[in-house]
Amino acid sequence: MAQRFFDHGDNGHFMDDYGDVDLRAITWTLETIPAAAFPTMPTGESDAGCIESYAADPVYWGKVRPPEVGRHWEEHGTWLRPPLLIDRRLLDPADSGLQVLEGRTRLGVLCGRLREQLRVAPHHQAWVGRS
């Protein structure tokens, strides 16, 4: 699972936000999180606002992905592949809560579906990195 992170090394925005964090030293656990927790979850500073841009048209973003992605949203009200979240204390010890590390499109679709009252499961799985 951790290998998935390391393909972001050539993404400048990702490196600006997380280049100082050793993602391999973090313990990753698949957790179940209430849908209501996601709309207020921040992302990295360089990606501020991108979740909202995906949320503006959640049906479109479900359709431009492989067909099984859109089907999964319609049938199960959740994403096909869990996003990656990080405990904000790993970024700033004075902070708390979770932050979107990877999966901004998925979270945008979820937020848009919630707002448009489309089918959304009450809980969603996500990989959460903690110390």
Rounded percentage of the chain residues whose pLDDT exceeds 90: 73
pLDDT digits (tens, 9 = 90+) for 72-102: 999 999 999 999 999 999 999 999 999 999 8
pLDDT digits (tens, 9 = 90+) for 35-56: 999 999 999 888 888 999 999 9
Distant-in-sequence, close-in-space partners of 78: CB < 8 Å, separation ≥ 6: 72, 110, 120, 121, 124, 125
Distant-in-sequence, close-in-space partners of 25: CB < 8 Å, separation ≥ 6: none
pTM over 0.85: yes
Domain boundaries defined on the chain: 2-7+25-130
